[in-house]
Amino acid sequence: MRTALVASATALLLACGTTAAGSAPAPDNLWLGQRVMNMAHSGGEDEAPMNTMYAFERAERLGADMLELDVQLTADGDLAVIHDATVDDSTDHTGRVADFTMEQLRAMDAAHWFVPGRSTVHDDPDAEHPLRGARYGDVTVAGHEPSDFGVPSLQDVLDRFPDTPVNIEIKGSGTPQSFLAAAETLGSRLADTDRSDLIVGSFDDAALARFHELAPQVDMSAGQQAMISYYLTDAPLPDGVVALQVPITYSGLRVVTRDFVDRAHEDGYAVHAWFSGSAPDDASTYGEVVDTCVDALMPARPSVLEEVFADLGTERPTPGGTAPRSECALDEPTDPGEPTDPGEPTDPGEPTEPGEPTMPTDTAGPAEPTAPTQPSTVPRDDDTTTPAGEPERPRVVQTDGISAAPAAR
């Protein structure tokens, strides 16, 4: 597969140039001891309004081990937790994030377009938006304030979740300068943090390099260019990188495989797998990815991943970290040792007494039969049809504590 990927990645590497040389991560990379994490992507955007306090609290309550979020720079120099460069997709407003102040963003309804099981939906007149208006009190949700449905700032999230690991992705408006500006703001904010449970990532390698200059103590994932270079040529990753956060597929080719994960682990890097259109967000695919021995999955459906973990008996992070489960342990090289003297016979041991039955050495009993795993068909980027054999995405009923019908707004 690595050979096939060259065709789709070489142009990108040539356009971007070579990545800066780096070094291996510290031998005590803490993220290698955090297996296997449910890293709720945007708080689980198929199950709750993305990047809202409501989504993050719900994901943590379900069992998520880490929160994943995105940051964009605001008009007043703050960092808003929102995926897109505009507010159009997730809120009841339109316009560029960079043109609004943080207070204006907090006041928006970030649940306006949310449809359970489908994330944000704009073009379906029959779609139900059960949380529309929750930001304004038109819908009440037990245990939550209207502000939990607005656009939060990064500091709002870090203050609300002081003991929950957070993955922060630096976003921009499409220009290199917009990524750099967000990186500089984030680096300045985290320059003095003593939190060791944060990872900062971005598709923009230059933004990550600038962030690392300002906050070198904060762990990072590899940028896109660095990750592709590592994948194709084993190029060293930049200083500060502790994890590879990769799609399940890239240009229709499988990236997350056991071979790739083993190689990353041998080199001292954790592997976090994201879906986001690169593979179905469903139980079957989650199970397949867990079997590759990744360190974390970033699901849009964190409750479904929790069920998969429970069914598989998957090890979860504990204070101090967890050792890799036995089936994910790297094979140790066999030491040939000193050659055996052919003239020196091996002691066969004491003979078994006649009539004395030999006890079997394996007392674990017969292995439980394993249900066959249905292979999932990964859609290509240009494939708009439903792949054959892909299970129907279950409808996620999002009625947690809702006590009033939403009013149109």
pLDDT at 31: 93
Of the chain, the percentage scoring pLDDT greater than 70 comes to 72
Per-residue pLDDT reduced to its tens digit, 135-185: 999 999 999 999 999 999 999 999 999 999 999 999 999 999 999 999 999
* Alpha carbons 236 and 341: distance in angstroms, whole number: 44
* Alpha carbons 189 and 200: distance in angstroms, whole number: 12
Per-residue pLDDT reduced to its tens digit, 234-250: 999 999 999 999 999 99
How much is the mean pLDDT over the chain? 82
Per-residue pLDDT reduced to its tens digit, 292-314: 999 999 999 999 999 999 999 88
pLDDT band per the 50, 70, 90 thresholds, residue 33: confident
Q: Which residues contact 156 (CB under 8 A, 6 or more apart)?
A: 53, 81
* Alpha carbons 223 and 148: distance in angstroms, whole number: 31
> Mean pLDDT throughout 30-49?
94
pLDDT score of 19 more than 50: no
Kind of pairing between the strands at 114-115 and 119-120: antiparallel
pLDDT at 35: 85
Kind of pairing between the strands at 66-73 and 166-170: parallel
Q: What does 51-108 look like in DSSP terms, one character per residue?
A: TSHHHHHHHHHHT-SEEEEEEEE-TTS-EEE-SSSBSTTTSS--SBGGGS-HHHHHTS
Query: Helix/strand/coil (H, E, C) string of 292-350?
Result: CCCCEEECCCHHHHHHHHHHHCCCCCCCCCCCCCHHHCCCCCCCCCCCCCCCCCCCCCC
pLDDT at 22: 58
Listed in sequence order, the DSSP H helices in 215-301 are: 224-233, 258-266, 283-290
> Mean pLDDT throughout 317-322?
63
* Alpha carbons 270 and 173: distance in angstroms, whole number: 29
* Alpha carbons 269 and 262: distance in angstroms, whole number: 10
* Alpha carbons 209 and 161: distance in angstroms, whole number: 26
pLDDT band per the 50, 70, 90 thresholds, residue 401: low
pLDDT at 310: 94
Per-residue pLDDT reduced to its tens digit, 333-383: 444 444 444 444 444 444 444 444 333 333 333 333 334 343 333 333 333
pLDDT score of 394 more than 90: no
In one-letter notation, the amino acid at residue 170 is I
What the block records as the tokens of 331 is: 């094979």
pLDDT at 227: 96
